[in-house]
Amino acid sequence: MNSKEKIKKEVEICMAQGTLIILYLQGKIKTEKGKEEFSFHTEYQKWYTMALKIVENIAPDRYAEYTSYYEVDKKRKTLGYGTYVIQDYIKGVAPNSYHYPNFDTKEQVLQCVYNQYTILRAISERIDSVLSDIQGTLYVELQDLEL
């Protein structure tokens, strides 16, 4: 298996893990008695770590957007629909129930994870062209170095 095939395989594995996380957040994954429960915190952190490297290396133009769904904005003044991120959910943080009585943290984190998943999906759909561009760039740089 060459490098291109390995990268494609890793992206496929990452997509499958992302799908499981989304299904869990939608309530479509049920655990059986006596079996280990699905841990969002553990599974998400594993997935995010893998996906983050893929986005960083294959689509650096989408990296800031991808991380914005996870990381708290340092300039954030309030916590609400437009500013709630995955890190808030993991820490157990929620907006004030007085100002946001119907705020569903799980629904909000589902939206953030789904947005990250769609970025990863877009990358997977253009992976051949991206890898070809990288390969061409490396070839040109190698030729320049030889001269």
Question: From residue 32, how far is each of 21, 87, 121, 129 by CA, in Å?
Answer: 17, 28, 30, 42
pTM assigned to the model? 0.82
Burial 100-130 (b: 16+ CB within 10 A, else e): beebeeeebbbbbbbebbebbeebbeebeee
Give me the chain's average pLDDT, please.
86
What's the confidence (pLDDT) of residue 49?
A: 96
Summarised one tens digit per residue, pLDDT across range 23-56 is 999 988 876 665 667 889 999 999 999 999 999 9
What's the confidence (pLDDT) of residue 104?
A: 94
Identify which has the larger pLDDT, 144 or 82: 82
What's the confidence (pLDDT) of residue 18?
A: 96
Summarised one tens digit per residue, pLDDT across range 85-138 is 999 999 999 998 888 889 999 999 999 999 999 999 998 877 776 666 655 555
What's the confidence (pLDDT) of residue 7?
A: 81
Tell me how many helices (H) and strands (E) the chain has: 6, 0
